[in-house]
Amino acid sequence: MALVLGIETSCDETAVGIVDGRKLLANVISSSVEEHARFGGVVPEVASRAHLEAMQQVIKQALKDASVTLKDIDAIAVTAGPGLIGALLVGVSSASGLALALDKPLYGVNHLSAHIAVDQLDNDKKITPTIALLVSGGHSSILKVKNLATDVEVMGATIDDAAGEAFDKIARIMGLGFPGGPIIDKQSKDGDLNHVNFPRGLTSAADLDKHQYNFSFSGLKTAVARYIEKTPNYKKADVAASFQEAVVDVLLSKSLAACKESGIDNLVIAGGVAANSRLRELAKQRCEMSKIKLSIPPIALCSDNGAMVAALGSLAITQGVKPSQMGIGADSAASIAQVIW
Ligand code: KG4
Ligand code: ZN
């Protein structure tokens, strides 16, 4: 079993996780989210600086939580993309420095695959081959995963906003704060999800022809904005619940269609939006009905963290994937096809 330290800095979380094979030993997160809240979104320069300030302390705390020292670590993994370039570079430089100083292998890993890999911690589930619904602040994709470290194929993706981005934008329009996903999730609990029948993007017969597994949330965003404009006394909880239902419904219909068409009866849902309570509930119901095995990481491991990076590094080692070259950079627009650098 390899002891892997994973570093994640692709957005506003400075996060370090330590795993021993598939066992989670530490998961420390320092977030700069409050520094961004008043801007209604993450400010890249502010995030990079916060990573620099937090990095050493977060590494120290993770080692302490795992009751290990740097000398015990067998390999360093780090998110090399996609994400904010300045933020990614802080992580990649820190990881490269550590790997060099400790003379240990370095694994630059893909942030998106790492979101899925975290589902393998603390269990002996065999999740592949699987369809994966990856929903975060920057991405919404349906993936066919034969081998998480080596063979990931994109079946569909968003053609405009990501699912998390849609939650954040609607929360902003409704004056609810940032990040919007958790707030809308909470508001929706007191709302009627059938109150407004908001549009489900790219689900008409004509759209499905070209965009069977693609998503679009811009029409939904416009529909919510129009509804709010026309209905000054609208109830926030009802609009939040109806909006959330439209997103969740379309995410799940397309994911289940992908399972059916590809004859794969596993579905993994991962990324920050996988923390959404309605998505988790409806996924469970629909997968049970369709006899599909559903797997969603624990809520605490859905949003960005270092454990997921360590988990993917550990998986790469198990699969015999070669370490990355010393001197790798970061790729802000990395595609999911590049799992390990
Ligand atoms: O994966 P993540 O932590 O960061 C990225 O890689 O983007 O995802 C962050 C996104 C944000 O847009 C946030 O609003 C959304 O995940 N999110 C949620 C929930 N918790 C976080 N969206 C809906 N419901 C939630 N409970
Ligand atoms: Zn993420």
Same structural domain, 39 and 90: yes
pLDDT above 70 covers a percentage of the chain that reads 100
CA dist 263 and 217 (Å) reads 27
Same structural domain, 312 and 233: no
* Per-residue pLDDT tens digits for 32-65: 999 998 888 899 999 999 999 999 999 999 999 9
CA dist 204 and 185 (Å) reads 27
* Per-residue pLDDT tens digits for 202-238: 999 999 999 999 999 999 999 999 999 999 999 999 9
Burial class (CB in 10 A: 0-12, 13-18, 19+), 35: middle
**CB of 116 sitting under 6 A from ligand 1:** no
Closest residue by CA, ligand 1 atom 3: 303
CA dist 232 and 81 (Å) reads 42
Question: Taking residues 55-82, what's their average pLDDT?
Answer: 98
**CB of 164 sitting under 6 A from ligand 1:** yes
User: Could you tell me if residue 16 is inside a domain?
Assistant: yes
In this prediction, residue 41 carries a pLDDT of 85
Same structural domain, 113 and 95: yes
- Please say if the pLDDT value at position 1 is more than 90: no
In this prediction, residue 337 carries a pLDDT of 86
We report the CATH number of the domain holding residue 243 as 3.30.420.40
Same structural domain, 132 and 96: no
Cβ atoms of residues 85 and 332 within 8 Å: yes
**CB of 276 sitting under 6 A from ligand 1:** yes
Same structural domain, 312 and 293: no
User: Where do the H-state alpha helices sit in the chain?
Assistant: 33-37, 44-66, 85-102, 111-117, 163-173, 180-188, 205-211, 218-230, 236-262, 277-290, 306-318
Spacing, Cα 227 to ligand 2 middle (Å): 30
Same structural domain, 289 and 177: yes
Question: Taking residues 280-308, what's their average pLDDT?
Answer: 97
Q: How many structural domains are present in the chain?
A: 2
**CB of 313 sitting under 6 A from ligand 1:** no
User: Could you tell me if residue 338 is inside a domain?
Assistant: no
In this prediction, residue 126 carries a pLDDT of 84
Question: Which band of pLDDT confidence, cut at 50, 70 and 90, is reported for residue 333?
Answer: very high
Range of the domain at 91: 3-119+301-318
**CB of 168 sitting under 6 A from ligand 1:** yes
Q: Which of 323, 297, 269 is nearest to 78 (CA)?
A: 323
Q: Which residue has the higher pLDDT, 186 or 127?
A: 186
CA dist 318 and 163 (Å) reads 32
Question: Residue 10 CA: which ligand 1 atom is closest?
Answer: 6
User: Could you tell me if residue 224 is inside a domain?
Assistant: yes
| Half-sphere exposure (Cβ direction) of 205: Cα atoms closer than 13 Å | 0
- Please say if the pLDDT value at position 311 is more than 90: yes
Spacing, Cα 114 to ligand 2 middle (Å): 8
User: Could you tell me if residue 24 is inside a domain?
Assistant: yes
In three-state secondary structure terms, 337 is coil
Closest residue by CA, ligand 1 atom 14: 181
Question: Taking residues 233-246, what's their average pLDDT?
Answer: 98
In this prediction, residue 40 carries a pLDDT of 83
Question: Which band of pLDDT confidence, cut at 50, 70 and 90, is reported for residue 319?
Answer: very high
In this prediction, residue 314 carries a pLDDT of 98
**CB of 137 sitting under 6 A from ligand 1:** yes
Same structural domain, 114 and 52: yes
Question: Taking residues 68-88, what's their average pLDDT?
Answer: 98
Question: How does the average pLDDT of the chain come out, rounded?
Answer: 96
- In the chain, what is the straight-line distance between the N-terminal and C-terminal CA atoms, in Å? 22
User: Could you tell me if residue 135 is inside a domain?
Assistant: yes
* Per-residue pLDDT tens digits for 150-169: 999 999 999 999 999 999 99
In this prediction, residue 21 carries a pLDDT of 97
Spacing, Cα 179 to ligand 1 middle (Å): 7
User: Could you tell me if residue 74 is inside a domain?
Assistant: yes
Which ligand neighbours the alpha carbon of 296 most closely?
A: 1
In three-state secondary structure terms, 271 is coil
Same structural domain, 68 and 151: no
Same structural domain, 162 and 184: yes
User: Could you tell me if residue 148 is inside a domain?
Assistant: yes
Q: Residue 325 to residues 178, 298, 321: CA-CA distances in angstroms?
A: 38, 33, 12
Question: Residue 162 CA: which ligand 1 atom is closest?
Answer: 12
Spacing, Cα 114 to ligand 1 middle (Å): 15
Same structural domain, 56 and 142: no
Question: Which band of pLDDT confidence, cut at 50, 70 and 90, is reported for residue 128?
Answer: confident
Positive or negative torsion for Cα 176, 182, 187, 191: positive
Question: Taking residues 11-16, what's their average pLDDT?
Answer: 97
The label of the residue with tokens 């409806």 reads 282
Question: Which band of pLDDT confidence, cut at 50, 70 and 90, is reported for residue 88?
Answer: very high
User: Could you tell me if residue 29 is inside a domain?
Assistant: yes
Spacing, Cα 165 to ligand 2 middle (Å): 12
Instruction: Say what the pTM is.
Output: 0.96
- Please say if the pLDDT value at position 242 is more than 90: yes
In three-state secondary structure terms, 276 is coil
Spacing, Cα 235 to ligand 1 middle (Å): 23
In three-state secondary structure terms, 261 is helix
Same structural domain, 293 and 305: no
Same structural domain, 47 and 172: no
